[in-house]
Amino acid sequence: MSLKHDIEFTLNGVKRRATVGVGMTTLDMLRDVIGLSGTKYGCGEGECGACTIVVDGASLNSCLMFAVDCHGRNVTTIEGLASDAKADALRDAFVLHGAVQCGFCTPGMMMQASHLLACHPDADADTIKRGIEGNLCRCTGYKKIVDAIASVGETAK
């Protein structure tokens, strides 16, 4: 027997409703119930950051959060950054600096970088390195990602 709950929350600025199982993760809800595929499944253990989202202003791993815990909250996914001018600058910087290679980590990395810059607009390289340490990338070696994020912080000055 599977228990289901109806939840209401704001997703990328739009009020949403969803019926979710009590054990369903937010990641599964986003991908399988709502149909947003930008948030990636990586490890399922909160170690890689591929599933990073922002909930009520806090950066979280959606694979570790139950979907029912989204009730009444404000959730932002990578799709929510589509119309954000600051995110546009960040996307452009990732391309310009070669911070995107296979692209699998990119949505989570972009979410974390966007959150980091919102909290620390003048972040230096050390702050950026600490800020993205929960997001793994197997391709870039991180220097290009750090440079891209730093370049956006510098242009915001």
Mean pLDDT of 147-151: 96
Domain boundary, last residue among 26, 59, 77: 77
24: which DSSP letter? -
Does residue 51 sit in the same domain as residue 19? Answer: yes
What whole-number distance in Å separates Cα of residue 93 and Cα of residue 100? 10
- The confidence band for 80, taking pLDDT boundaries of 50, 70 and 90, is very high
- The confidence band for 154, taking pLDDT boundaries of 50, 70 and 90, is low
Does residue 88 sit in the same domain as residue 71? Answer: no
Q: What is the mean pLDDT of the chain?
A: 94
Q: Is the pLDDT of residue 157 over 60?
A: no
β-pair partners for 19: 6
- The confidence band for 47, taking pLDDT boundaries of 50, 70 and 90, is very high
Does residue 23 sit in the same domain as residue 40? Answer: yes
> What separation in angstroms does the CA of 138 have from each of 46, 100, 126, 145, 152?
16, 11, 20, 12, 23
Domain CATH number, residue 31: 3.10.20.30
What whole-number distance in Å separates Cα of residue 121 and Cα of residue 124? 9
Q: Would you state the pLDDT for residue 141?
A: 81
Q: Is the pLDDT of residue 84 over 60?
A: yes
Mean pLDDT of 132-142: 91
Overall domain count for the chain: 2
Q: Which tens digit of pLDDT belongs to each residue from 87-119?
A: 999 999 999 999 998 889 999 999 999 999 999
